[in-house]
Amino acid sequence: MRWRHWRIFALAASAFVAIERRVPVAMVPLDIFRSRTVSSTTVTGLILNFAFYGEVFVLSLFFQQTLGRSPAVTGLMFVPMTALVAGVNLLAGRLVQRCGPRLPLLIGQLVLAGGLLGLLAVGHNSPTVLIEVLLVPVGIGAGLTIPPLTTAFMDDIRAEQAGLGAGVLNSSRQLGSALGVAVFGAVVSTNLTSGLRVSLLLGASTVLATASLTVRYVRSGPTSPIRNGLSDADEHTGQSPGAKTLEPTGAACGDHNGLALTLEAAPVWSRSICS
């Protein structure tokens, strides 16, 4: 991605913000970002997809061009990791129901960052079994992050802006995916092996940076019922005036196109993780 592309991106983003601030009915009301929880989770969603999908892109190149795997085999090598993402999503939703979003989100970020750092051990002669084992924490970490991220974001959005909020979060994640492919692709353009290591370090460091946002701005308690106006907790979390927290029928356990799935039950054994 050349510098002129970054300038075009910055110009377009600045123009969008300027227009949204001036029009009477904005497509994305910027006042939703007055909430520090909403702002921090939006950035976190972008970075998580930036790191995860950027690495998937780079690893797919590494598997084919360096290790000599076919496209079909390369795709199959990602199956265990993606299966873990889907399975752990269900567990994460139950943990959110018991613990609130902060703990599972923070654990997911740390595990994902650790998994990316662990992939630094992959080299030209790495056996497939070792690679699959090293991809396990990446799948677990990614699976743990999205349900609590969605819950934390949506809990701080007014009820009448729920659809808007889901679109904002989903768009930020999609933007992160596109940026990850562009940035990491540029990093490996000169040397794939050394570029892979740089991209792994970049991905892990950015994920760890978002963990600090989670500790500071994401609440730790379980989901609370609907409330009107500002409470003492609102001032602590930075919730915007008039925000309402939706009565949960379950914790968000996954999403597709901005829609969150819910789980009604939480197993008893999950309590020990939160205590």
Residue with tokens 């601030």, as numbered in its chain: 21
Distances (CA, A) of 171 to 51, 95, 136, 164, 189: 16, 25, 27, 10, 27
Beta bridge partners of 261: 254
User: pLDDT grade, residue 83 (50/70/90)?
Assistant: very high
Spell out the CATH class of 35-221+247-274. mainly alpha
pLDDT at residue 220 is higher than 90 = no
Three-state DSSP at 254 gives strand
pTM of the model: 0.77
* Cα distance between residue 196 and residue 126, in whole Å: 14
Q: What is the dihedral of CA 90, 91, 97, 100, to 10 degrees?
A: -120
H and E: helices and strands count for the chain? 10, 2
> CA-based diameter of the chain, in Å?
60
Report the 10 Å Cβ neighbour count for 243. 25
Domain boundaries, the chain: 35-221+247-274
Our measurement of the distance from residue 180's CA atom to the centroid of its chain's CA atoms, rounded to an integer in Å, reads 12
DSSP-derived letter for residue 215 is H
Spatial CA neighbour of 60 closest among 173, 187, 154, 181: 181
Contacts 24+ apart (CB under 8 A), 75-82: 77/128, 77/131, 77/132, 77/135, 78/135, 80/132, 80/135, 80/136, 80/139, 81/132, 81/135, 81/136, 81/138, 81/139, 82/139
User: pLDDT grade, residue 10 (50/70/90)?
Assistant: confident
238 touches 35 (CB < 8 A): yes
Residues 6+ apart with CB under 8 A from 270: 91, 94, 95, 98, 99
Render pLDDT for 128-150 as a digit per residue (tens, 0 to 9). Answer: 999 999 999 999 999 999 999 99
pLDDT at residue 126 is higher than 80 = yes
Supply the mean pLDDT for the chain: 82
Return the percentage of the chain with pLDDT > 90, whole number.
Answer: 60
pLDDT at residue 272 is higher than 70 = no
At residue 92's C-alpha, the angle toward residues 216 and 86, to 5°, is 130
